[in-house]
Chain A
């Protein structure tokens, strides 16, 4: 909101520099984003918080400034001298269909106005705050809105059928052409001002074109109202018409400001445009609402702020804001909130008034006091942290991708229909909540591989699966690995090596790997927790890879489900071991797991078996080198003793798995 310095100074005479004013206002809750010199004036750009509807006017800011600078504020509104009658006088008849949505409605008739451009001072003042001048009547009503905070509207009285205005709900489908020339179709949730024949104005939002004040207008009807804030808010949001009037109504209007605003407007119109007020104000209203009152404890204020402020200072601040105080007991006083403040309802609100007006930066910081105990453990969080550290320390780079993707990626994972969908996405590429981290990770892999020969990337993130009301959310770990010129099997073994390292370090045991369709499933105790896939460029042309790629994805939570096996020390062997490397030619159908099954409990003297080499012979046969380590707890094994076990084992491998010794 723009504020004119000169305009402000009409209410409170301060000699402060614009810097000083900016600083003081910002530190009291009304942020000043900037200020600029404009002719002989200075314009401030204020950011008023949504709870301070009262600050959307010069008068509202003036109240704040007066207290901040300890200056008197000049008379805000003149006394109302016009006669106030109920419902009607000779020139105008008003009505309200539902007082719960429009508890107060006032109107005033002026006859014999001369509509023309406003005088220069008025045009300039409006332009200073970014408002376009229209004609003297409209300009005065706008002036009053920014001056006193009361939105007003002027109708051409000749266009108001039967001199009757009612505040009622629109009929479903009722149409109205607004001041901007657009035709609006309304429904019964929207309030309108109407005459006996049709709607004239969208209440609280914008007037109608037909009844607007134009050059030919001779008589006008001014209206001022109080509306139920949520009704106006709903109306302007439905219509997409967020006007200056609407934002003031949705934040709450000062009940007692209507008649004085009408008075000031009428006086100003008479000065500027001629014309005579006809008789006076007509009003339809409920009983004047009682002021909000509640008790405040002094020690609560001091406790909440964490600072002892003198009682006299507290009360002086509150009184300066227009809050009435009456003492109840030594510690308790009752506050009575002025009608322009809709945001003060509870003692915490009073604490804020005191705190903000007295500079929070003056409060000495105080450390927290309490029970010292280690905070509860968050196992999933710790597992995620450990995973990141382990992967980063083995050359992986962590990547973050979006939580949503488009149709193409959704097709990669079960199709769009199986995804949670965003109703109002920013773009079609961000429409489906991801069910897997892989589609976007593959895209990142592809673009990075244009610049790097090798990549190892991972992401830890949330995926979403449709469920009843809220989707099921799981934390997944996924990654993509590529080495220049790597064959598929080699790529797979390297990635698997990384995963085995990760799982071991996380304390996860008993994992098995099994091919199923085009994936290798990672299984733990009967549950599939993830998968690995190695592809050549042709397998996924969508991603335009130029080399073999290995990818994996697994869920983190199932890794936590078992108490991890605690490492146990194994006594260091006293006697040296004997190692035998034996080369075999083996059938393609043999799985390493089959070898493990045979060797693991073969002999107490066989302490370790590992695969030390593997390759294809020129004739295509598969050759492996198994390293057997033999040792005894009781003595040094001799060569021949080791050889004996080796022979037995070889015989077994030959007979069970069709191994051949390679010579």
Chain B
């Protein structure tokens, strides 16, 4: 089976898992094992697809939009799967996180999987470190988004669906911790990116659009982390802020490199 078919199969698994996670809320039968199998199987097939492409092209999946979306879909699904595995009481969050990933899947299907070549400035281990930290950061924020989604759905009146989950203040605390984890890895991503940039282009920071907006994301995360101990906002407000930060980070991670004339991509 070729890499493209493996990818479709993996995405099919993710979609089934997402639909099952949503259905699980309404049907009082536990499909946890099925969802876990679909997620794990999808992640493995997707990893195989990415690996085959990596081996064929000789570089990691981070040059074209197709590669960036595909590798982030994989890393974010890994984050969701690990959370699903380690936090069995909070598996209902998959009903929020997996449908969120449907956006990436739909976008991925629209992009061209054409082969890419690695620019010479991308041939450094710091690039992998930079990207790896970024993926962990976004994964942690996505998990926080899933937890916050439950708080927001409860606020919207869907209390019965999540009756067996811990109360919202506790969920808010856990969400805050994942945001803090995201902040730490986002900071590491910035530092590793600066080292790569210095190696590749001779400067560690140049205020290009991607750098500037990534710094905005970092400041937004810092703002969120300060707001909670300062104002003790109710869980609903905290959850809203998590979602706002995620949407902003999502647009920066996936939007800026492809709408700007001179992001990282423009200075290869």
* Chain B associates with chain A: no
